[in-house]
Structure 1
């Protein structure tokens, strides 16, 4: 497959992300302004940055819960998601307890996702971060199936904070084989150039989490110039 997307088309895949622990409200306001300029789908920020200051236009607001470790109780994750929605979040990216999955307790993972889904019902979009770099193939499939059974809208590769790394084409392909066409698939973590972004889309990603969005989109612009 040889996917060609214009700069504007690629931008609509992007959750323009700032989740650094030292991020300031001023940086988040600047992120939103940059997202409007770049034409991204959304911004993704920490929950204590909500509500976001600045004019959003058609840029949606996403946030995280249980982030980045996932080692929070289901009730805590649910409360965090509910508070985020009340503060203006349109989308929630929740982190599963990877340890539950590694222990073979996919039902426990499904239950915690369902708790967040109940606390942040549609039309809020729920994305489930399964931390694919920490999982084997069978565990990735199990996490995707638990996400679908619990009513999630997306499965997402990574927090971007795990030492094992971020998104890979193989993980996206496997996620796509498992839930593609029914759930969205978000690739995040380590996507820093245009070629990698396109490879993720070709593998099945329907959303991209990027912090260096401008550089990735600049690659699309240079491709357009040929």
Structure 2
């Protein structure tokens, strides 16, 4: 893969609590200029961004973020509100508490509810690998496949660690053929992003990589 092709995989991301409107506009302007897959922004900014950029920009947001222990109902409402405000892709944090207690039926039930709420919009399930055992990761690969999510995603970027190539290889062994992989968390260099793309990730969440590629190639 050419380095410039990575831009088409990037969810150009700004999820910091103190992000201002100027920060969000800067991110979105970069995304339009560089041709990234989406911008991933807080739900609070979706409608303003959609009103400003319209169809020139694909919007992604996060729900149950970043800890995942919100109620299933609240996540469903977040998803519905986000879609109404212009989001085309939803990244939801799995209920990590339920995973650690091995309440997998509850995890499955919640994700089915969110899948239904998302309708034809893309759903990515963030499993926050840094907190999980290998057994728990494998079980979540199976559940994400069962509920027909579009992606399994490694990390929020707010946990104790982010994506690893070892986890990508584990996912590839245990997800179904219709589930894609998004790597996020700690991907800060072009070399990092290229490694994840070549490992099989269809999306890469990063706030750093797109501007680095643009600067390198004078885009």
TM-score normalized by structure 2?
0.93
Q: Note the C-alpha offset of 1:94.
A: 0.2
Distance, in Å, in 1 between the alignment partners of 2:117 and 2:195 is 34
The answer to whether the aligner puts 1:72 opposite 2:70 as a matched pair is: yes
Q: Which runs of 5+ in 1 are unaligned?
A: none
Q: Which runs of 5+ in 2 are unaligned?
A: none
The answer to whether the aligner puts 1:116 opposite 2:108 as a matched pair is: no
TM-score normalized by structure 1?
0.90
Aligned length: 216
Distance, in Å, in 1 between the alignment partners of 2:86 and 2:62 is 13
Distance, in Å, in 2 between the alignment partners of 1:50 and 1:203 is 31
What is the correspondence of 1:202-217 to structure 2 with a 5 Å cutoff? 202-217=198-213
Q: Note the C-alpha offset of 1:220.
A: 6.8
Identify the residue that residue 144 of structure 1 maps to in structure 2: 141
Q: Which has a greater percent of helix?
A: 2
Contact kept? 1:194, 1:219, Cα under 8 Å: no
- 1:28 corresponds to which of 19, 24, 35: 24
1:218 to 1:190, Cα distance in 2 relative to 1, 3 A: same
Identify the residue that residue 130 of structure 1 maps to in structure 2: 127
Identify the residue that residue 158 of structure 1 maps to in structure 2: 155
Contact kept? 2:154, 2:184, Cα under 8 Å: yes
Q: Note the C-alpha offset of 1:216.
A: 4.3
Identify the residue that residue 196 of structure 1 maps to in structure 2: 192
Give 3-state SS (helix, strand or coil) of 1:185's partner.
strand
Distance, in Å, in 2 between the alignment partners of 1:60 and 1:95 is 20
Q: Note the C-alpha offset of 1:6.
A: 3.8
Contact kept? 2:12, 2:210, Cα under 8 Å: no
Distance, in Å, in 2 between the alignment partners of 1:114 and 1:146 is 10
